[in-house]
Structure 1
C-alpha cells in the first residue's frame, strides 16, 4: 500500500513539474519574441510587434484564466498575485498597441516579468 502511495505521489509530481516546465517554456518563448522585436526595432515591422504582443497576451490570458478557476490548487495569495501581474501586462500591452509612436524600451518590463516568472516556475 505504501508503495502505491509513493508511486501516485511521483506521478502527480511529474505532472505538476511538467506543467510548470511547460508554463516556464511558454513564458520564455514569449519573452524571446518580445526581446527579438526590441533588438531588431530599427528593421522590424509594426506587424512583428503586434504578433509578439498578441502571443504574450494569449499566454497571460491562459494563466489568468487558470489561476482564477475555483479548482486552482494555488494558494489565494499566489492566485491574486498572478492575476494582478496579468492585469498589469494586459494594460502595458494595450498602451503599447495604442501608442502611435511606441518605443523599444516599453517592451523591457514585459520581457523582465516573463523571465522572472519563468525562473520562479523552474525553481531557480
Structure 2
C-alpha cells in the first residue's frame, strides 16, 4: 500500500465521520427533536407545530423545518387553497428516526433517578478535589 492510498483512505474516513457528525448534530438539536416528535402523530400544520414546540420562535421553526425537509426527514405538502394550507409529515426515514428517539427518551425516563443519584455521588466525592492553583 502506498502512502497516497493510505492518505486517501484516511481522508474518506474523515469525510464520512464529518458527514455522520453533521447529521447527528442536526437531528439531535433541541428544536429538531421537538418538531420530529410533534410530527410523529401524523400530518401537522405550521401553527400546530408552533404550539407543540414550546419556546420555538417562528424563524427557528422555519429554519428547522427547512433543514429537516432538506435532510429527507419531513415532507412538506402545499394545498392550493387561499390562503395556502401547508402540512408536514414524517417520511419513512423520519418515522424510523422517531422510533429511535422514542427509545432514547424512554431510556432516559427509566434511568433518570439513577443518573441523578450518580451525579450527586460524583459531585459529593469530587467537591473537595478542586485543582490547586500553582
TM-score using structure 1 length: 0.41
Larger gyration radius, structure 1 or structure 2? 2
Q: Which structure dedicates a bigger proportion of its chain to helix?
A: 1
TM-score using structure 2 length: 0.39
- Larger RCO, structure (CA 8 Å, separation 6 or more): 1
